[in-house]
Structure 1
Amino acid sequence: MTPHFDQLVAEAESVSVDGWEFSWLDGRATEQRPSWGYQRLLGERLAGVQAALDIQTGGGEVLAGAGVLPPLMVATESWPPNVAKATRLLHPKGAVVVADPDEPPLPFGDEAFDLVTSRHPVTVWWAEIARVLRPGGAYFSQQVGPASVFELVEYFLGPQPEEVRRGRHPDDAVAAAAAAGLEVVDLRSERLRTEFHDIGAVIYFLRKVIWMVPGFTVHQYRDRLRELHERIGREGPFVANTARFLIEARKPGR
């Protein structure tokens, strides 16, 4: 028997959204993963450097699972609950977690790191990344691409203008990297299938990924949520397309 709408809503509203792992969605939503395997590639790069910086680390889950960390490993995060979670997870592995507002400047000296990484950054301050990289160092990042999960965004917000749909385009990242003096040495992009199997999964996702539907609350969108709950009951999972791209950019050596 399908759980009642109010039961699903209450459950999804009460669960913690701290950190950056989505295990609560197991069995309730599925997301196709990019073919390149970011965490594996991250581990390979971390193994070859002496000093690395992970920007916007979330709860530290991705970095913690990447394998052996370099002798100097620093992670930054802006949201206090995530700072605390990342500290608990990464300190035993020898990494330092720094609370940082995700605005320039980065709280580090020039040419401090061999490698700068970030998975799904909200913003990318390319000039700052270039500044803290040593000559020959690299920036390695998996990012959200254009119009990602916009089937869900537009269900709540209506059709979005083309300039919004085009935001986060990989071509713009390449241009911004070049403007900061970095050379892009790898760029890959994919569109992937995401399915939401119940309305609780939708609510949890929008509570956690807060920029998808800014200011989202169940109270504000209750009627649309109920309509979507009924639609899922009739037609099956709500399907959206996720956009991801992988970018690696190198700072020229001296």
Structure 2
Amino acid sequence: MQRADRDRPAEALIAEAAVADVDGWGFDWLEGRATEERPGWGYAGLLAEAVAGAEVALDLDTGGGEVLGGCPRLARDQHVTEGWPPNVRRARELLGPRGVTVHDTAPGAPLPLADAAADLVTSRHPVAPDFPQIARVLAPGGQYLAQHVGPSSAFALIEAVHGPTTAAQRRGRHPADEAAAAEAAGLEILELREARLRMEFFDIGAVTWILRKCPWWVPGFSVETHRAQLLEVDRIIRRDGAFVAHSTRHLMRARKR
């Protein structure tokens, strides 16, 4: 995106982003409009190595299958779950030709595998990891490999649009809490790494789009109800050149006892 485009009126940028496609789990629309650092551990490479050596694997909350679809080789019997219908369709289009079973699942539903059926469960940014269910479908010695969204991710932007958050909200998704939940479910933590990553948004269209893409950031968000907040963020971007926030991520690798 050229600087001249970023100088377009806020209303035009917001209107454009309000109708842009947000299906799937790709972020190409933000190219040139926003950046986010990536953790040093390289989850895509770790995932590719893990699924290539697995017999039965389950990828949770796969989105449109974009991350798993980038792996050169998948498990012999590869399964994925996804709960949002547009993403389910995309995942079937992308992964179905590779023999992947795509399960359309509801939030909180049991995982769609039998007890001890999998030797690997993976996820990039699971919505709400259900560790008892993960432990149930893993065979003894089977592994869980995931990159989780950590606490207070993008909260500078969330608070600019939504308003102040509570201490409990800022504590949510804490790696220590999730590790304790995993261990209580019967998993042994093998690796837990954390990263804090810089995010920059260069125009208000990028902000509008990401808030539509991630509706849990600001529940009830729309360009109509939050127009005043969007225009204030636009003012900050034009003054400072970017709106800066930070995300947190943690890598978790665990084994079924």
Query: TM-score normalised by the shorter chain: which range applies?
Result: over 0.9
Q: Alignment partner for residue 192 of structure 1, among 180, 197, 205?
A: 197
Please state how far the C-alpha of 1:9 moved relative to its aligned partner: 1.0
Q: Alignment partner for residue 210 of structure 1, among 206, 215, 227?
A: 215
**Counterpart in 1 of 2:22?**
17
- Alignment-mate amino acid for residue 99 of structure 2: G
**Counterpart in 2 of 1:161?**
166
Show structure 2 runs of 5+ residues with no match.
Answer: none
**Counterpart in 1 of 2:71?**
66
Please state how far the C-alpha of 1:103 moved relative to its aligned partner: 1.3
Deviations 1:105-130 (A, max 9, x none): 11221011110001101111100000
**Counterpart in 1 of 2:44?**
39
Distance in 2 (CA, whole Å) between partners of 1:131 and 1:118 is 16
- Alignment-mate amino acid for residue 187 of structure 2: L
Matches within 5 A, 1:1-254: 1=4, 2-252=7-257
Please state how far the C-alpha of 1:4 moved relative to its aligned partner: 1.1
Query: Does the 8 A contact of 1:74 with 1:95 survive in 2?
Result: yes
Tell me the number of residue pairs that the alignment of Structure 1 and Structure 2 aligns: 252
Q: Secondary structure at the match of 1:185?
A: strand
Query: Does the 8 A contact of 1:47 with 1:69 survive in 2?
Result: yes
Distance in 1 (CA, whole Å) between partners of 2:43 and 2:231 is 36
Q: Secondary structure at the match of 2:221?
A: coil
Query: Does the 8 A contact of 1:51 with 1:112 survive in 2?
Result: yes
Query: Does the 8 A contact of 1:77 with 1:102 survive in 2?
Result: no
Please state how far the C-alpha of 1:98 moved relative to its aligned partner: 0.9
- Alignment-mate amino acid for residue 210 of structure 2: F
Q: Secondary structure at the match of 2:181?
A: helix
% identical equivalent positions: 53
Please state how far the C-alpha of 1:136 moved relative to its aligned partner: 0.6
Distance in 1 (CA, whole Å) between partners of 2:229 and 2:132 is 42
Distance in 1 (CA, whole Å) between partners of 2:169 and 2:212 is 21
Distance in 2 (CA, whole Å) between partners of 1:239 and 1:251 is 39
Q: Name the stretch that deviates more: 13-22 or 221-230.
A: 221-230
- Alignment-mate amino acid for residue 103 of structure 1: G
Query: Does the 8 A contact of 1:104 with 1:125 survive in 2?
Result: no
RMSD in angstroms over aligned alpha carbons? 0.9
Please state how far the C-alpha of 1:36 moved relative to its aligned partner: 0.4
**Which 4+ runs in 1 deviate beyond 3 A?**
none
Please state how far the C-alpha of 1:249 moved relative to its aligned partner: 0.8
Show structure 1 runs of 5+ residues with no match.
Answer: none
Distance in 2 (CA, whole Å) between partners of 1:182 and 1:207 is 35
Please state how far the C-alpha of 1:227 moved relative to its aligned partner: 1.6
Distance in 1 (CA, whole Å) between partners of 2:160 and 2:233 is 9
